[in-house]
Structure 1
Amino acid sequence: MRNPNVWAVVVAAAIAASMAMGIRQTFGLFLLPLGSETGVSVATLGFAVALHNLTWGIAQPITGALGDRYGAGRVAAVGGLLYAAGLALMAAHPSAVTALLGFGILTGLGVGCAGTGSVMAAVGRAVPPEARGSMLGIAAAGSSVGQALLVPYAQLGMGWFGATAALGAIAVMALLIVPAARAMEWSPRDTLAPRRPLSELPALARAAMQERDFALLTLGFFACGFQLAFLTTHLPAHLALCGMPPWLGATSLMLVGLFNIPGSWLCGKLGGVIRPEVALGGIYLIRSLAITLFAILPVTEWGTLIFAAVLGSIWLGSVPLTAAAIARRFGVADLGALYGVCFFSHQIGGFLGAGAAALLVERTGSYAAFWPVMVLVGLGAVAANWATRGSIRATAAA
């Protein structure tokens, strides 16, 4: 992998995804302070984050198909502008309406354009099959740098200037996606490849879902979204309700990002050794076991930090593995669109995970009843991925 153009694509993709994914990881920090500062209820803000996840999921197949056709970089640049606009709207005029429109819809469209779904397709097309798993892992690992940096940035900004001012500063950071997108994949890489029109996307989705193993992969991705959206959105609030200090929520999310840097790379490498679906089942099993222990043991500072480190090591490992699994079965020409179809299930899970937990805590004042649901959903993902056909070892890439 000495081709400098390939590395330029990987680095640019990592920067774009780092901003897109890192910003959304700060939303949980804003939940209680923004509600206290602006008077917008925690339930409304939680539902806005849930709407963000659903909008992202609906947009991802479309933005992925647009990236396949016109270049993922162009789509990501538009996403950076939408992301910044959504955050700035909420910062300038905080209300229930702007929370749903800005936090919910505009940022959901932004991350759909510039998040991992779009950039992984660009990386998958830029690298040869034998190096695809490793390079996808590197791009996913780079995307975690944003979480490690932006979480303390947001926490410090809220402490010094308040929640709305910190949100405005985060909006400025979203604009960094635009120059990174220019270097990623501004035009389709293979100009001779057939370009599928958007009108064919429903037929492509139906054909893919008729493949048994793709359907199982998609079902497993639902659990990933359910678990991660809940933890990203509600873990800081859960810790606050348990009497833990405010720094613990921010530090936990920062640790998730730090440990995910080597974790995503290792998961990508693992996808080149064993079949990606087998590795995905292992990830969901480890995550469910960690959630079980965290739920049944007393909440302590050290226990929370260890929990965050374990989760971080496999946090976005599902992304390169899922992309690799799709590329092995269908090739890379429609990778953005097909990843988007699979990811739609992920975001339905995210919408339910974040939204249901927001309603629960509004009614009961506790998240206690939600942890067993998290474990059961995760075990379902283990079963779905391990039910896919094929040898345990990875097969030759398409």
Structure 2
Amino acid sequence: MPATPTSAPLQQPARLSLWQVLACGAAIVTLSMGIRHGFGLWLQPITMAQGWTRETFSFAMAIQNLSWGAFGIFAGMAADRFGAFRVLLVGAVLYAAGLVGMALSTSSIAFAMTTGVLIGAAQAGTTYAVIYGVIGRQIPAEKRSWAMGVAAAAGSFGQFLMVPVEGWLISSFGWQEALLFLGAAVLLIMPLALGLREPGFAAGGAPLRDQSIMHALREALRYRSFQLLMAGYFVCGFQVVFIGVHMPSYLKDNGLSPQVASYALALIGLFNVIGTYAAGALGQRLAKRHILAFIYFARAVVIAVFLIVPLSPMSVYVFASVMGLLWLSTIPPTNAVVAQIFGVAHLSMLGGFVFFSHQIGSFLGVWLGGVLYDRTGSYDIVWYIAIALGVFAALINLPVRESPIARGPQRAGAAA
């Protein structure tokens, strides 16, 4: 049967080199994710300086995660329509403005608007959904999961690199000055974005597609496997953001020094380089639903063991190292499954919707951590919720169908 005329534009070869996409994309994710991974280090300095409760800080961070998820949908639509380059430029400016606002805010409302809404919107335009859209469009399917693993590993390396730097900036210059330094550093995303200017978007428009945005969205939201992936990603957000934001305070409450928390977060980032790369590479060989189920169940086991054994610097470092292997390793297989099922034409948008579910979980994880601590004086209840959710996520990922969605003849090209 002859190919339909509309399918041809979707099968054009990659126009940017693989290594250019990976180098620029990885550097952007390293910087953007590296900065946000260290925000937990500011919880105690800011609350003590401003006289706020931990719930106030936690609420702003929860708003940040929710804002990131909500704006991520629109950032994905814009990247699919106009290309990643323009979205990255706007995101970099918003990030710098948000970090300056985080440093200078004197009221809880201003803090929530800058640290929460503004930085969240900036992260939507400078992290995975946008970068993975470029990877999906520019890198062949047989290398896509691996390439997504490389980009996710870069974000993990950013955590390993940036968290100790952020801790050093706070101790050497003060928490406000440290945020201002980071505000200047994040503008490096703008020149890096030049390497992700896709030729298909050079004239300001997108390549021809077989599906409209609304058709692609309706198709995905009605598809059972997409719903299951979103539910699993909700759990991922709950677990990692609760741990990332509240673990430094949890450790200090139990008599451990701030340096232990800094080293622990750095170890998470270091070992996540291995975990995310391995998840992306294995996604080329194994069923991605099995990889996801293993990751979520392993997280539940690791958290349970961490709570059972006596707390010490060594137990923290072991926990951080093992959890690091599982930290962002859900990202490559989840996004690769979305691309495998629906194609790459609307990958940034669909990835944004999946990530929105992740950020709802993040909102609840970081906010409940602050609320329940203020109510009970302990993080125990939230730890137990994280364990139960890990088992739940493992079970619901098993029935995910990874094969391309069946479409009519007019839509067949979108799955290419």
Tell me if structure 1 keeps the 8 A contact 2:16–2:198: no
Q: How far did residue 390 of structure 1 move? A: 5.9
Per the alignment, residue 78 of structure 2 pairs with 66
Amino acid in structure 1 at the alignment position of 2:207:
A
**Which of 11, 16, 33 does residue 23 from structure 2 map onto?**
11
Q: How far did residue 185 of structure 1 move? A: 3.2
Amino acid in structure 2 at the alignment position of 1:14:
A
- C-alpha RMSD over aligned residues: 2.0
Per the alignment, residue 95 of structure 1 pairs with 107
2:344 is aligned with 1:328: no
Q: Deviations over 1:111-152 (max 9, x none)?
A: 000011111111121111111111111111112222111111
Query: What is the total number of aligned residue pairs between the two structures?
Result: 390
2:334 is aligned with 1:319: no
Provide the secondary structure at the position in 1 that maps to 2:196.
coil
Give the whole-Å Cα distance in 1 for the aligned partners of 2:15 and 2:219. Answer: 35
Give the whole-Å Cα distance in 2 for the aligned partners of 1:61 and 1:390. Answer: 22
Give the whole-Å Cα distance in 2 for the aligned partners of 1:62 and 1:78. Answer: 13
Question: TM-score, length-normalised on structure 1?
Answer: 0.93
Per the alignment, residue 207 of structure 2 pairs with 193
Per the alignment, residue 352 of structure 2 pairs with 340
2:293 is aligned with 1:281: yes
Over 3 Å counting, the alpha-carbon distance change for 1:347 and 1:390 in structure 2 is closer
Over 3 Å counting, the alpha-carbon distance change for 1:313 and 1:219 in structure 2 is same
2:81 is aligned with 1:51: no
Tell me if structure 2 keeps the 8 A contact 1:280–1:382: yes
Provide the secondary structure at the position in 2 that maps to 1:175.
helix
Which stretch shows the higher mean deviation, 143-152 or 50-59?
A: 143-152
Give the whole-Å Cα distance in 2 for the aligned partners of 1:6 and 1:215. Answer: 31
Give the whole-Å Cα distance in 1 for the aligned partners of 2:118 and 2:330. Answer: 25
Give the whole-Å Cα distance in 2 for the aligned partners of 1:196 and 1:156. Answer: 51
Q: How far did residue 202 of structure 1 move? A: 5.1
Amino acid in structure 1 at the alignment position of 2:184:
V
Give the whole-Å Cα distance in 1 for the aligned partners of 2:215 and 2:39. Answer: 35
Provide the secondary structure at the position in 1 that maps to 2:125.
helix
Q: Deviations over 1:253-297 (max 9, x none)?
A: 111111111221111011111121221111111111111111222
Provide the secondary structure at the position in 2 that maps to 1:176.
helix
**Which of 297, 302, 317 does residue 305 from structure 1 map onto?**
317
Over 3 Å counting, the alpha-carbon distance change for 1:34 and 1:202 in structure 2 is farther
2:153 is aligned with 1:141: yes
Amino acid in structure 1 at the alignment position of 2:328:
L
Give the whole-Å Cα distance in 2 for the aligned partners of 1:157 and 1:202. Answer: 46
Over 3 Å counting, the alpha-carbon distance change for 1:352 and 1:196 in structure 2 is farther
Which stretch shows the higher mean deviation, 381-390 or 300-309?
A: 381-390
Amino acid in structure 2 at the alignment position of 1:291:
I
Identity %: 37
Tell me if structure 2 keeps the 8 A contact 1:216–1:385: yes
Q: Deviations over 1:73-111 (max 9, x none)?
A: 211121111011011012123431221011100100000
Give the whole-Å Cα distance in 2 for the aligned partners of 1:192 and 1:3. Answer: 14
Which stretch shows the higher mean deviation, 184-193 or 221-230?
A: 184-193
Consecutive unaligned residues of structure 1, counting only runs of 5 or more, are 392-396
2:247 is aligned with 1:235: yes
Q: How far did residue 367 of structure 1 move? A: 0.4
Q: How far did residue 364 of structure 1 move? A: 1.8
Bigger Rg, structure 1 or 2: 2
Q: How far did residue 9 of structure 1 move? A: 1.1
**Which of 199, 208, 213 does residue 220 from structure 2 map onto?**
208
Per the alignment, residue 170 of structure 1 pairs with 182
Over 3 Å counting, the alpha-carbon distance change for 1:202 and 1:49 in structure 2 is farther
Tell me if structure 2 keeps the 8 A contact 1:69–1:196: no
Give the whole-Å Cα distance in 1 for the aligned partners of 2:121 and 2:168. Answer: 27
Amino acid in structure 2 at the alignment position of 1:311:
M
Per the alignment, residue 394 of structure 1 pairs with none
Q: How far did residue 189 of structure 1 move? A: 5.8
Give the whole-Å Cα distance in 2 for the aligned partners of 1:211 and 1:384. Answer: 14
Tell me if structure 2 keeps the 8 A contact 1:240–1:246: yes
Give the whole-Å Cα distance in 1 for the aligned partners of 2:201 and 2:310. Answer: 52
Tell me if structure 1 keeps the 8 A contact 2:340–2:402: no
2:365 is aligned with 1:353: yes
Amino acid in structure 1 at the alignment position of 2:323:
L
Provide the secondary structure at the position in 2 that maps to 1:183.
helix
Give the whole-Å Cα distance in 2 for the aligned partners of 1:66 and 1:192. Answer: 10
Q: Deviations over 1:320-351 (max 9, x none)?
A: 11110001101111100011111111110000
Consecutive unaligned residues of structure 2, counting only runs of 5 or more, are 1-13, 404-414
Give the whole-Å Cα distance in 1 for the aligned partners of 2:104 and 2:376. Answer: 32
Give the whole-Å Cα distance in 2 for the aligned partners of 1:389 and 1:196. Answer: 23
Amino acid in structure 2 at the alignment position of 1:193:
P
Structure 2 matches for 1:356-371, cutoff 5 A?
356-371=368-383
Question: TM-score, length-normalised on structure 2?
Answer: 0.89
2:121 is aligned with 1:109: yes
Amino acid in structure 2 at the alignment position of 1:149:
L
